[in-house]
Amino acid sequence: MSAQFHDSVLLHSGEGKLSNKNNDIIDRRSVLSGIGIAAAAAAGGASTAQAASSGFEPTRHAEDAWLDQMEGGHRAFLDSSTPDGGAVAMLYANNILNAHTKAYAGAQESDYAMIVCLRHYSTVFGFGDEVWEKYGEGFYNVVGFADPSTGAAPKVNLMQVQGLRSLPNRGNTIESLGARGVKFAVCDNAANVISMALSRAGFGDAKDIYADFIASAVPNSRFVAAGVVAATRAQEYGYSLLYTG
């Protein structure tokens, strides 16, 4: 597989019902103020301090090393699993970069290491126009994504169309974001599943379809074993996770 760039825990602590008696309320407040907020949280579950001192170190794998090679003082991983979510991820990538440079003194877009993940049904946005021309009807049936201007199956990757503002990406394209340093992680697992679905629908041999997907990967992207794995590994490398749909 090519390695080139071309795929909370909620701390729930239950509290018993407070007594209606004033003395009980006063006693409880006294205890909380005495032991402190951090200790009170620890009483109901694992505290942040405990988690930080647990000694856990994530296992590193060579396949994930690219996550640590992207430059930038801030790290963001925008995760999407639907066509609309993929488009929204590109809008949010633009918004993050714009807000950062406008609101922070001396800030530059290069301050960000930013990845947009295309997995599950948004995976199809990781493929070039030649694939959409060939399999667009199949994508329409499998993923349920239509060209908003026609209501029919798209014949090109609409996330690469300049000036198109009828989708949630609001004109932000793979090319325009790539020029600003954004990378795209494309789910290899979903690419395989979609190729098999297209094969069952009569579009040819699954291996040939998958080969077309790999060969047509959009610029500034790379295939990852699975988008869901990339999302978890990115957090182990200090990326903030933002799920966009």
In a domain, 9, yes or no: no
Q: Is residue 226 in some structural domain?
A: yes
- Domain enclosing residue 167, as ranges: 62-243
Rg of the chain over Cα atoms, rounded to whole angstroms, equals 23
Predicted confidence (pLDDT) per residue in 104-116, tens digit: 999 999 999 999 9
**Rounded mean pLDDT, 164-193:** 96
Long-range interactions of 35-41: CB distance < 8 A, separation 24+: 41/11, 41/13
**Number of domains making up the chain:** 1
Task: Pick the range with the lowest mean pLDDT from 43-57, 128-142, 204-218.
Answer: 43-57
CB contact at 8 A, 83 and 125 = yes
pLDDT in tens, 3-42: 444 433 223 333 333 334 344 433 433 333 333 433 333 4
Report if residue 137 sits inside a domain: yes
List the single range of 1-10, 49-58, 59-68, 101-110 with lowest mean pLDDT. Answer: 1-10
**pTM of the prediction?**
0.79
Say how far apart CA 175 and CA 158 lie, in whole Å: 12
For residue 54, the model assigns a pLDDT of: 76
**E-assigned strand segments in the chain:** 74-80, 112-118, 183-187, 221-224, 240-243
- Let me know if residue 44 belongs to a domain: no
Helices 206-215 & 188-200 angle (0-180, nearest 10): 140
52 confidence band (pLDDT: 50, 70, 90): low
Give the Cβ contact number of residue 5 at 10 Å. 16
Cβ of 99: how many Cβ atoms within 10 Å?
11
- φ/ψ (deg, to 5) at 202: 95, 20
Q: How far is CA 127 from CA 19, 28, 79, 94, 211, in A?
A: 61, 59, 17, 21, 11
Task: Give per-residue pLDDT as tens, 144-154.
Answer: 999 988 999 99
Q: How many CB atoms lie within 10 A of CB 48?
A: 11
Residue pair 77/240 in contact by the 8 Å Cβ criterion = yes
Amino acid (one-letter) located at 6: H
Instruction: With respect to residue 140, please indicate whether it lies within any of the assigned structural domains.
Output: yes
- Residue 143, domain CATH: 3.40.1260.10
- Give me 28's structure tokens: 């409880």
In this prediction, residue 53 has a pLDDT band, given cuts at 50, 70 and 90, of: low
The answer as to whether 126 is a domain residue is: yes
| Lookup: tokens for 51 | 């988690």
- In this prediction, residue 226 carries a pLDDT of 98
Tell me whether residue 28 is in a domain: no
Residue 81 inside a domain? The answer is yes
Residue 240 clears pLDDT 70, i.e. is over it: yes
